[in-house]
Amino acid sequence: MDDALAVTVASIKNDGILSDYYLPPGADPGNIISTVTLNGNNYERWAKVMRNAFHAKNKLNFIDGILQRPSPGTDLYKLWGIINSMMVAWILNTIDPELRSSRFMFQYCL
């Protein structure tokens, strides 16, 4: 285990739900975290609702870029990748299917 992962694992254990890397039981890529669907005409409203949802899930640091992507090949990068994939799924679940299929294909949440 690399040093960064050891620090992060300890942080997750110590901070529990306050850790950026914490995912509660029931967190699922199929979850819809907002009732507002981005439809091409409501970006400002959608963005505010999504920021609030990510704040409530303690994942805003991923979106704002405060929590940087770790170096590839590290154990911490694997952990970051799990959270990133979950967040990308949550974002895609709130985009109108027509927009999602034509414009919104991205790999990272930041």
Residue 35, domain member (yes or no): no
Return the closest-CA partner of residue 4 out of 68, 84, 85: 68
Q: Which domain covers residue 55, as residue numbers?
A: 1-10+43-110
C-alpha 48 chain-centroid distance: 15
pLDDT at 83 over 70: yes
Residue 25, domain member (yes or no): no
Distance CA 53, CA 63 (A): 11
Mean pLDDT of 71-85: 90
Residue 33, domain member (yes or no): no
- Give the relative orientation of helices 75-92 and 3-15 as an angle to the nearest 10 degrees: 50
Residue 80, domain member (yes or no): yes
Q: How many domains does the chain have?
A: 1
**pLDDT tens digits along 14-50:** 667 788 888 989 999 999 999 999 999 999 999 999 9
Residue 19, domain member (yes or no): no
Mean pLDDT of 69-87: 91
Residue 98, domain member (yes or no): yes
SS3 95: strand
Decide if 35 contacts 76 (C-beta within 8 A).
no
